[in-house]
């Protein structure tokens, strides 16, 4: 999949990476692409789901939380990731429908997708080494976990910046992030954690 992306959509990948590190490129990508349903975006999304799911699975396996080579667990993780993606795609649309205004919601949603897609690319080296290397496997698992945490915090910060740039009160931004972004993730982790410990 990565080879196909690199061959057919190298320009798209470069734009996504630039948008990840520099928020100014996001509007340019939105103008040029106009949609997150083009073939490159869909393949990057699938890659992000697989690599993120594999990273979470390897982290659980390295901690002794799951049985070795459990396809059922990996499928559950992928299902959880798909549910989170769907949630973060639907919530901004519901808010925009209820309040009849955008106020940066489209940009925030696109940022979420972009950051998720690039995170999938960043995790590829860690998952490959952790899956096949006998040396330093634990180290790369910690690196992957660090990447996931830093990217999540970075995405929250980007969300705050988007809100402030659209003249939304910081109180409302924090309320939105805590109730509609952070709390659902905590609930999902808790539910999945209970499932794995049964």
Cα distances (angstroms) measured from residue 70 to each of 49, 55, 57, 65: 17, 14, 9, 11
Residues 6 or more apart in contact with residue 107 via CB below 8 angstroms: 26, 27, 30, 162
pLDDT in tens, 32-44: 665 566 777 888 8
Is the per-residue pLDDT at 7 higher than 70? no
Higher-pLDDT residue of 138, 106 = 106
List the single range of 17-26, 142-151, 155-164 with lowest mean pLDDT.
Answer: 17-26
pLDDT in tens, 16-71: 778 888 777 776 776 666 556 677 788 889 999 999 999 888 888 776 656 656 78
- In the chain, where are the structural domains located? 2-196
What pLDDT does residue 50 have?
93
Higher-pLDDT residue of 76, 8 = 76
């Amino acid at each position: 999949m990565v080879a196909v992306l690199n061959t057919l959509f190298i320009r798209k990948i470069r734009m996504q990476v630039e948008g990840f590190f520099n928020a100014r490129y996001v509007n340019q990508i939105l103008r040029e692409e106009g949609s997150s349903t083009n073939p490159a975006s869909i393949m990057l999304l699938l890659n992000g789901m697989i690599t993120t799911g594999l990273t979470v699975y390897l982290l659980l396996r390295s901690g002794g939380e799951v049985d070795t080579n459990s396809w059922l667990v990996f499928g559950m993780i992928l299902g959880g990731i798909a549910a989170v993606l769907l949630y973060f795609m639907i919530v901004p649309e519901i808010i925009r429908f209820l309040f009849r205004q955008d106020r940066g919601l489209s940009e925030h949603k696109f940022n979420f997708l972009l950051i998720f897609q690039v995170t999938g690319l960043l995790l590829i080296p860690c998952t490959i080494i952790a899956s096949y290397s006998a040396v330093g496997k634990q180290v790369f698992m910690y690196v992957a976990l660090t990447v996931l945490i830093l990217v999540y915090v970075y995405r929250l910060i980007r969300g705050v910046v988007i809100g402030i740039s659209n003249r939304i009160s910081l109180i409302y931004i924090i309320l939105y992030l805590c109730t509609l972004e952070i709390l659902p993730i905590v609930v999902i982790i808790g539910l999945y954690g209970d499932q794995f410990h049964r």
